Structure 1
């Protein structure tokens, strides 16, 4: 087995959870979640920061302050600001339910600079140390990036296509604009005090498999390794301290074959020669039921296996942090906190491990 001989107390780095869109909740609901997290021993959360009006922006800063007061550090996932004269791609019901998505090629760097600089400087003034700053989210597929055509090719796009195929040139242009956003983020961080050394993480990438694989929905994605390879040609490594990655392909990880597949595919570029280690900013698996009490035995076994795999990745220098998705979404079987309590699998998922 792949895991044979691993030290029992090997660390798996920073361990946290996603709190999904807490900025949209009322204050009482926000405080209830913060209390759940603190009493369950969660020390790190990933939350989004989506550009909005001044009032919402300041409410988000206040929310960050309350997380910090509870002893919880934040991976702040900052979204782009887009040009006002470019409309988002419209929503689609088929081939799957797609919400509107802006084009990364329409990022407005000056407006992003103003937004991100204000927020991060205000956080700095309040002496709040972030655990990371993550720029963008799942830029490599149709759902989150309006540069992808609908309908598309229906498969995973590789590096050669990204560099040479006119059918996907808008995606490449969006990635070039994204590098500009990272340059602005890098410059903003350099002007901070408390967070001057806080890691910048590239957008968590979704993993549908290697180039050429059919997605089966008529939608497209660029493989994570091709995305990172292309961004590296544009100067990515001078701008970030880690690569963001997402995967939900975890149910077979107790198999050495499946674990090896993930090493070669999802985590192939992590911590490689001259590259950066990865931050797994989304992962998860469903419980067997939505009823109470939760039937959680199967998920607890899978999550335990996955934590063992993460320790292997950490020991190889491939993984520095992981954030489970998600803490608590009403009626969602992926959540860790269900039926008004932390599930058994949740306790395993968030168990702290000291860095070796």
Structure 2
């Protein structure tokens, strides 16, 4: 072979390598697209099946939902899976608390968004393991392959974490606060106990048959898109998403989870305005996805956004969906680089249905007036991320 031909072949091979390496990551690794369903245990089996059929007709193959620790709950998961729909299972703490655990009571008239319950710091890891093992064994026996297991929900926020006092301090706590502020130190105690729960989840999962490789996700951490420090008066307190992940990672989080679940409800001001759009991109990068990294990274895990969404301005029929269409299309474009980089592995919209307990239609719902909205079709379209 002449040196001229040999050099040509090497140039060609080099060009092919460059071309292959420049293919967007989204084309090689899929992102999970799905939708939340709310309180399915309060729907009849007929209504559950009707909802699942509508979701399947929309081309959706993943839903985020709780699975009640009952035979009916397992049956719902089985029916969904039989229709080709996998569940990102929101795993509750299954009332697995130490004997005599303190209780935060629900005060509807004064603190309506501060739910009752026991603090994370009072969790009993061994009791949780026994209860969790039982439910997961039933799902495994039914042949139900889950999409993910999301352990807890918004535990960095006062409403879902009774380690926050009532009333909670109107503050977004920082990593330094978790180490030095007396109120935040109590929250940190709960975080450390939560890590013991994650260790039990991994131990149980690793010994299953059907779900041995199912990703374990953190609780969906709520993102407040603003700086740490004091908040406006009467705003419930929280620990920033970044501080929460920094604290948990410093205490071993990454050995027990495969990804970080995060929640964001972006500002919806001025749809279509370039300055407003730039603000949403900046806040997404700074306050929501800053700690998300590709698989195999030594400094973090990929993220799954397991709740995101925009409200309709009104829910009258026929639906006026034009502003939400603009916002959803914009956000899908904002998510795309994170998908390409492998930093974002899941995108699950909130939500599909209205809570059966609600007295009015949920303005976040994608399914309005008996059909999927135009914004819903965009939010569930993976081609917008390629």
TM norm structure 2? 0.84
Aligned counterparts, 1:96-245, within 5 A: 96-208=112-224, 209-245=226-262
- Matched residue SS, 1:47: strand
CA shift, 1:354, in A, is 9.4
Q: Which residue of 1 aligns with 2:79?
A: 66
Q: In the alignment, does 2:47 pair up with 1:34?
A: no
Q: Which residue of 2 aligns with 1:246?
A: 263
- Matched residue SS, 2:218: strand
Change (3 A) 1:121 1:64: same
Q: Contact 1:182–1:239 at 8 Å: present in 2 too?
A: yes
Q: Which residue of 2 aligns with 1:82?
A: 96
Query: 1:274-329: per-residue Cα shift (whole Å, max 9, x none)?
Result: 20010000001111211111110100110111111111221122210011111010
Question: What is the root-mean-square deviation of aligned Cα atoms in Å?
Answer: 2.2
Change (3 A) 1:355 1:199: farther
Change (3 A) 1:131 1:215: farther
Q: In the alignment, does 2:280 pair up with 1:263?
A: no
**Deviating more after overlay: 25-34 vs 224-233:** 25-34
Q: Which residue of 2 aligns with 1:326?
A: 351
Change (3 A) 1:189 1:144: same
Q: Contact 1:202–1:243 at 8 Å: present in 2 too?
A: yes
Query: 1:196-231: per-residue Cα shift (whole Å, max 9, x none)?
Result: 111100011111233114154242100001001111
Unaligned runs of 5+ in 1: 1-5, 52-56
CA shift, 1:133, in A, is 0.7
Name the CA distance, whole Å, in 2 between partners of 1:41 and 1:277: 25
Aligned residues: 345
- Matched residue SS, 1:151: coil
- Matched residue SS, 1:203: coil
Name the CA distance, whole Å, in 2 between partners of 1:316 and 1:95: 41
Q: Which residue of 1 aligns with 2:41?
A: 23
TM norm structure 1? 0.91
Q: Contact 1:12–1:311 at 8 Å: present in 2 too?
A: no
Which structure is higher in RCO with an 8 Å CA cutoff and minimum separation 6? 1
Query: 1:233-279: per-residue Cα shift (whole Å, max 9, x none)?
Result: 11100000000100001536962343023202211111175200100
Q: Contact 2:332–2:384 at 8 Å: present in 1 too?
A: no
Q: Contact 1:204–1:245 at 8 Å: present in 2 too?
A: yes
- 1:283 aligned to which of 301, 308, 316: 308
